[in-house]
Chains A and B, each alone.
Chain A
Amino acid sequence: MTHSSSAPLASLARIGKTYGDGDTEVVALADADLSINPGEILLIEGPSGSGKTTLISILGLLLKPSRGSVFVGGRDVTALPERALPKIRAETFGFVFQGFNLFPALTALENVALAIRMKGGRHPEHEARRLLAAVGLETRMHHLPANLSGGQKQRVAIARALGGNPPIILGDEPTAALDTKTALGVMDLLRTLATEQGRAVVVVTHDPRLERFADRVARVEDGRVIAIDTLAHAA
């Protein structure tokens, strides 16, 4: 697959983010640049408090930057009003979190179907089955989260993130709560989604072992993207 020639799915240009003001002012990001390409896995690494979560929240249109511009599909969405954002988020991003955030009362299938339905998707039930099968959970569809392993829960969350077919999956430490073997299994799944379906996967992590799945690694320190390394195996 040749992704290098295609335009970025989304990008951040000279993003600054300051929390609070006066004495409590925290500069979380300064002059951060980043672009997301189809089919790649981009890791975001950096020490605690460096601004990784802030960066991915701004990228996912969950947080307004203090400065700079956010582009989605080549369009500058920085100044769009709040009410315009849910639709763009629904069409563009799927989110995966460390804590899975599945409704404990709902089965895997219902959790995924609920998200699809709430995004206004068609045939939520049918679509949810397809997605759960795609993440290897066809035999666990009717299990409640409590009866699934951590890795399986994260796969349900990934299936849910894929509802509505968004081109970009954003994960904030999606493997942090998993043991190594399971974590690598989840990354393997994300790798497949990138390679075979051309989705961009952006993963915030502390774990250097995940690098083997990545195409690029953005290193964040003190609110700056200090380096973006293209990994040799991905070239």
Chain B
Amino acid sequence: MWNLARKILLHDRIKFAVAAAGVSISVMLVLVQIGLYLGFMQNASNLIDHSHADVWVMGEGNENFDFAGPIDERAYYKVASTPGVARAERMILAFGQYRLADGGQQGVQVVGLEPGGRLLTPWHVVAGDPARIHEPGKIAVDTSEFGKLKIDAIGARREISGARAEVVALTKGIRSFTTSPFVFTNLDSARAYTNFPADKLTYVLVQAEPGVDPAALARDLDALPHLDAYTTPQLSIRARHYWSSRTGVGAGFFTTAALGIIVGLVVVGQILYNGTLEHLREYGTLKAMGARNSAIVRVILYQAIISAVVGFVFGGGLAVLSRLAMTKANLTVLLTPNLVAVTAVLTLVMCCAASMLSVIKVLRLDPASVFKG
């Protein structure tokens, strides 16, 4: 039956090519758009997701992870002395002005880390020694930001907000959502780079004692005056949610993806319906001879499924190609297994939905009509 459905579908190569192209474009749009979205969202929470903290503590009322306000250093001692806290580390996250070699300026997002800290360290290190960022005036940057920073190797010396900065380590693939390159350094240098007062910081990263529930600990820390606390997964969601909903970036990507699905639906639906109309006499003949409706519907659904599979394979291929192209443009298209699986199911559902018009047509087909003309 599969074989026969395939032959009926492929008989008109051009029409099949159009249907497959429709599905492919649909699949590609969904994969690339959602992949881009996931890429951006990954960037929006990557510092959080790569930390080893159980709980993050910050000033009260911060909506946005990247623009959190400063808190007093006393908060750190309060957090550190709260029962259930095994380890607390200070972190500064703020913006500084990086001076380019040609005299221009580039905003950077400075990440100041606790000396000897373990809860957040630069990851994906490809060159240099990340421990050296704890020496005064030493920084780690990402190779993908070389273009913005106008440097091309480890050892580059520049100034950030007037203070000396020397690149001692390189990471690969750590990008911010704000598009200002991350600069990893120690707490003191971070203060210098961002004009942070000496007794201020942005976050306190907390590791819970073994057996202590991070959610319960977060509630306890949240109860401290003027402080908010979230578990790491909670904060990750908050960070992504902020950018996704407040900037409309989520709606933008999903609208394009939805348009892709509609295009696919219409094209496949139209082609399948056309094919069904063309074969109405044949289907009617089979119905007249007692072919079961279920058998005829199966031939049509099989055609829809074949279109879905071919379209998914080609669309997936196109998505991988455009991911390569976008990587060159420093954009991350994140094709996660989940995304690919969901898109596969969606494609199948889309093609089957598109065939419904055809299915209804043959179900309603009056077999007596084959006697006419």
Chain A positions within 8 Å of B, measured between CB atoms, are: 53, 56-57, 60, 62-63, 86-91, 93-95, 97, 99, 101-106, 110, 113-115, 117-120, 160-161, 163-164, 166, 172
Smallest Cβ-Cβ distance to A105: which chain B residue: B11
Contacts of B295 in A (CB 8 A): 117-118, 120
User: Do B4 and A97 touch (CB < 8 A)?
Assistant: no
> Size of chain B's interface in residues, with CB distance under 8 A?
27
Q: A57-B371, A89-B290, A97-B285 are in contact. Are A118 and B296 (CB under 8 A)?
A: yes
Cα(A95)–Cα(B281), bound, Å: 12
A76 to B11, CA, bound (A): 43
In the complex with contacts A91-B290, A103-B279, A164-B290, A63-B368 CB distance below 8 A: yes
Q: Which residues of A sit under 8 angstroms from B368, Cβ to Cβ?
A: 57, 62-63
A103 to B8, CA, bound (A): 8
Q: Which residue of B lies closest to A54 (CB)?
A: B371
Partner of B8, one of A93, A106, A117: A106
Q: List 18 A-B contacts (CB under 8 A).
A: A56-B371, A62-B368, A86-B290, A86-B293, A89-B288, A89-B290, A93-B288, A95-B289, A95-B370, A101-B281, A101-B284, A101-B285, A103-B279, A103-B282, A105-B11, A119-B290, A164-B290, A172-B371
Chain A residues with CB under 8 A of B310: none
Task: Give complex CA distance A117, B185 in Å.
Answer: 73
Task: Report whether A94 and B282 are in contact in the complex, using a CB–CB cutoff of 8 Å.
Answer: no
The answer to whether the Cβ of B74 comes within 8 Å of any Cβ in the partner chain is no
**Residue among A101, A120, A163 having the largest count of chain B Cβ atoms under 10 Å:** A101
Q: How far is the CB of B362 from chain A (nearest CB, A)?
A: 12
Q: Whole-angstrom distance between the alpha carbons of A89 and B286 in the complex?
A: 11
Q: Are B286 and A62 in contact (CB under 8 A)?
A: no
Given the complex, which residues of A lie within 8 Å of B284, measured CB to CB? Answer: 101
In the assembled complex, the Cα of A11 lies from the Cα of B292 at a distance in Å of 25
Contact check, B290 vs A101: say whether CB atoms are below 8 A apart: no
Closest residue of B by beta carbon distance from A118: B291
Is B291's CB under 8 angstroms from A86's CB? yes
Q: Which of B289-305 contact A (CB under 8 A)?
A: 289-293, 295-296
Q: Are B370 and A97 in contact (CB under 8 A)?
A: yes
Known: A89-B289, A105-B7, A110-B4. 17 other contacts (CB 8 A): A62-B288, A86-B293, A89-B290, A90-B290, A91-B290, A93-B289, A94-B289, A103-B8, A103-B282, A105-B10, A105-B11, A106-B4, A106-B7, A110-B7, A117-B295, A118-B286, A118-B291
CB-nearest residue of chain A to B294: A118
| B8 and A90 contacting across the interface, CB-CB below 8 Å | no
